[in-house]
Amino acid sequence: MKRKIYEKLIEWKNTDMTKPLMIIGARQIGKTYIIDEFCKKEFKNYIYINLFEQPEIVKIFKLEISTAEKFRRMQIYLDTEIDIENTIIFFDEIQESEELISTLKYFNESEQPFKIICAGSLLGVKLKRMHSSFPVGKVKMLNMYPMDFEEFLMANGNLALIDEIRNCYNNLTPMDTVLHNKILELYKLYLCVGGMPEAVKNLLVNDKNILRFDKSIIEDIYQSYLSDMNKHIDNKFEASKIERIYKSIPSQLGNQSNKFQYGKLSNDARKRDFAEPLNWLLSSTMIHKCVLLNKVEIPPLGFVIDDHFKLYLSDVGILLNMLKVKYNDVILDNLLQYKRIIAENYVATQLVANNIPLIYWESGNKAEVDFILYNDDGIIPIEVKANDNVSSQSLNIYIKRYNPKYAIRISTKNFGYSNNIKSIPLYATFLIK
């Protein structure tokens, strides 16, 4: 399945291969698959090294010898003399070796034309908790996320639909009604299965029949996430807190206070007790943090309240799995309050995939705008609606108070522009930059 990060891999190949490339993202989002495909297609020679499966290489890089000697001994272990000029080396599960991560500086500064790419499970967590020094400025880092809705359409072979969505988005002209409704049905399917490649593949194998979709795929991914929280943490108490935060997110999104509440974790829960577990989850990219904008002023990230926030899951399919939502209730629009919450989490994942920081705005208990976008047009409010009922007192309050160049309303309504508000269908969120 095509992934948009492939274009960034090509850009790295064409511009700056002297810096090792590190891909960071949660488990089972397709990192190994897309890197493997890239290495096979774009290079004459390719060496794949999985440090979890080849612990001897981890031991080699622990030795108190020069990096050049470590590399020589690695070649002996692999029983191959590496043609550095024409070979790319992919170190998978690189989190297993702090020493190798530190050694990436050597590959960057070497006069020999090394081509190194690396990835790993919970790599973001490892980088935050390394005891060795990280080679700052010597490594190019890219974040990778589950498949967004555009990639979902690509996997479905709906390239013509993508072109039509893009055309309507750029010109703010209504989509053909039949097509609009068809894409909304695909959007509902995406909500059910999310963006994990294995889940998307299973849906396609079953001809997009959600009744035949194997639900155990998402449940297994969810359980593997819980397993990671316990397997990679020495302190059982911290592991328990990490799991408690993660499991609370679906219900926390329904809080009337519209923010994450530590008190929902336990009666005596305090921020200081959960700061490190929360940072672990954020570093793992299993969750995303949306912070409150304290003052509508440029740059908005300079005026956020980091302690006042919401948490979203990294994949909407996992959210539905945790909520045990029946897929027919999504397809038939039987959800009420959680329809909005699911749509909001979906939009959050699409914005994150476009590297847009998650920020929201509120005015006491009177108004709240779901997301704030900062682009060439200034600070733009984004309101999310799960259906075509788009009346919004909060957005109107924001517009009157701050007079933005325009506002964006994401809903099931067709494309349009009225009263300085751009109407963007939920399925076109991936185009917001």
331-368 pLDDT per residue, tens:
999 988 889 999 999 999 999 999 999 999 998 777 89
> Looking at residues 180-199, what average pLDDT do you find?
97
At 345 the pLDDT is 97
Alpha helices in 194-235 (DSSP H): 197-205, 216-231
At 132 the pLDDT is 76
> Looking at residues 259-275, what average pLDDT do you find?
87
Look-up of token digits 């290489």: 57
ω into 299 cis (within 30 of 0): yes
48-82 pLDDT per residue, tens:
999 999 999 999 999 999 999 999 999 999 999 99
3-state helix, strand, coil in the chain (%, to 5): 50, 15, 35
Look-up of token digits 């029946």: 326
- Given pLDDT bands bounded at 50, 70 and 90, which one contains residue 374? very high
- Phi then psi for residue 27, to 5 deg, are -65, 145
Q: Token pair of 374, please?
A: 């900062």
- With 80 as the cut, is the pLDDT of residue 133 above it? no
Can you give the pTM of this predicted structure? Answer: 0.94
Residue 418: strand pairing partners:
421
29-40 pLDDT per residue, tens:
999 999 999 999
- Given pLDDT bands bounded at 50, 70 and 90, which one contains residue 126? confident
Residue 381: strand pairing partners:
372
What sign for the dihedral angle of Cα 96, 102, 108, 110? negative
At 42 the pLDDT is 96
Look-up of token digits 């993660």: 246
At 232 the pLDDT is 67
* CA proximity to 327, closest of 208, 246, 416: 208
Q: Distance between CA atoms of 402 and 381, rounded to whole angstroms?
A: 10
154-164 pLDDT per residue, tens:
999 999 999 99
**E strand or H helix that includes residue 164:** helix 159-171
Q: What is the identity of the amino acid at 328?
A: N
At 391 the pLDDT is 79
* CA proximity to 238, closest of 246, 230, 250, 227: 230
Distance in Å from the first CA to the final CA of the chain: 23
Over the chain, what is the mean pLDDT? 94
Considering the domain 5-143, what is its CATH architecture?
3-Layer(aba) Sandwich (3.40)
Q: What's the burial of 361, exposed, middle or buried (CB within 10 Å: 0-12/13-18/19+)?
A: buried
At 281 the pLDDT is 96
Instruction: Please tell me the number of Cα atoms within 13 Å of 301 on its side-chain side.
Output: 7
Look-up of token digits 């976008």: 373
Instruction: Return the domain boundaries, the chain.
Output: 5-143, 216-431
Q: Are 356 and 432 in contact (CB under 8 A)?
A: yes
Q: Distance between CA atoms of 177 and 159, rounded to whole angstroms?
A: 18
Q: How far is CA 417 from the centre of its chain?
A: 30
- Given pLDDT bands bounded at 50, 70 and 90, which one contains residue 179? very high
Laid out side by side, the sheet with 287-293 consists of: 304-313, 287-293, 359-363, 367-369
